[in-house]
A and B are shown apart, each in its own frame.
With several copies, the nearest count.
Chain A
Amino acid sequence: MNEPLIELHNIAFAYPGAPQPVFQDFNFQLLPGKHLGLIGPNGCGKTTLLHLIMGLLRPQAGSIVIFGQEVKKEKDFVDVRQKVGLLFQNADDQLFCPTVLEDIAFGPLNQGKPPAEAIQIARETMERLGLHGFEDRVTYKLSGGEKKLVSLATVLAMQPQLLLLDEPTAGLDEKTKDRLIHILKSLDIAFMIVSHEQDFLNHTVKECCHVHGHCCQPITT
């Protein structure tokens, strides 16, 4: 089964009121099991690309196919969001429950799991990321690095089949970066990482793509 996980065909997208489009006739493909790095200068549209895949933004033209299904309407994306996890560029934007445990259990609850099971899943995920003892910590008061890790836990708790990470290392110190590399290496799902740090990408992905307004060009290293 070598059907691509994500396919974007001839996507056109412009922010309302912006003078020029971010994407025009944009094409992109992600194959199963791949670990891909996305690079490109500031403002080239990397975040926009991830938000298009999650249905947080809608293209003005073109089609998006995810897991072999064309997605168009809000309803289609509801399913996509069950299977694809997105880590925001800014961890502050991702956490909104008072305590860590509640925040991690939020996703499973939305998936219809009963509370006891949701808590069970949350605890297991925390264990896996070495977040033991954080259950009742207030999310708002965590340090930058801890917030990133908890955000990752909230996403992983939904057991996604694909992970999108938007600049996971910005503002993190060396130690936390190493921990993140370690965690990512232990995952057995496909993921895509946006990053400006070549060093971090070298440790986590095998291929990198350069995002342009028209396509996503593989870089041969």
Chain B
Amino acid sequence: MHISEGVLSPAVLGGGAALAVVGCAIGLKKLDYEAIPRVAILSAAFFVASLIHVPVGPVGAHLVLNGLMGLLLGWMAFPAILIALFLQALLFQFGGLTVLGVNTVTMAAPAVICFYAYRGLLRRQGMPAAMAAFACGVTGILLSGLLVATALITTGQAFLQVAELVLLAHIPVMIIEGIITLFIFRFLKKVRPEMLEGIYA
């Protein structure tokens, strides 16, 4: 969920920006020049994922895939997601410039957490790895929803109900992301295990 411009308080915007800068600095440090094209393609993937609509009963949701980004990129998810959000802000005006920091943190921090939390399990074979991939998708969205809610509530108590609704809206997406992350993980493991090297490093 992107937060639009003009909603959050200056303190929250500033805090988000500062955290995003730190995250990106770490991510960029880990990024080699030769790896830039590959990270860029995942960044483009994150951009396009939000255009894929999947049906959830009568309504639709769009994919986020930040758990998957974390699993593939680790800390590099920060710059990758920042760039994707920046381009979305420029090309579609989704999100925005002043909220770029906050939006990056709400998406990328869960990605990094997922990476470290599930790396060990993902390395294993069979059931544990599959469960970890599912959990990765779920956790990515869950944490993201919680962070969005936190950003809103810290801005003002008035946003309490809004934050609740936002969290509620994240629940079906969570399950779908889990299933989809699971299948993507299995696909990659079979077809292109080289792409999953990050979790073995």
Contacts and interface: CB of A to CB of B under 8 A. Distances in A.
Contacts of B192: 140
- Sorting the interface of chain A by its residue count into under 10, 10 to 19, 20 to 34 or 35 or more gives under 10
B191 A16 contact: no
A21 interface: no
B190 interface: yes
A48 interface: no
A99 B194 contact: no
Contacts of B191: 98, 138, 140-141
Interface string A124-140: 00000000000000101
A17 interface: yes
B194 A17 contact: yes
If over half of A's interface residues share one DSSP class (helix, strand or loop), that class is named, otherwise mixed; here it is mixed
Contact of B187 (A16, A17, A98, A141): A98
A38 to B, nearest CB: 28
B190 A138 contact: yes
Contacts of B190: 98-99, 138
A141 B192 CA distance: 9
A139 B192 CA distance: 11
A177 B18 CA distance: 58
A145 to B, nearest CB: 19
A194 to B, nearest CB: 25
Nearest to A99: B190
Nearest to A139: B191
Interface in A79-107: 98-99
A18 to B, nearest CB: 12
A191 B152 CA distance: 60
Interface of B: 186-187, 190-194
13 contacts: A16-B194, A17-B193, A17-B194, A98-B186, A98-B187, A98-B190, A98-B191, A99-B190, A138-B190, A138-B191, A140-B191, A140-B192, A141-B191
| A-B interface, 4 closest residue pairs, ranked by CB to CB distance from nearest | A98-B190, A98-B187, A140-B191, A138-B191
Given A138-B190, A140-B191, 11 more contacts: A16-B194, A17-B193, A17-B194, A98-B186, A98-B187, A98-B190, A98-B191, A99-B190, A138-B191, A140-B192, A141-B191
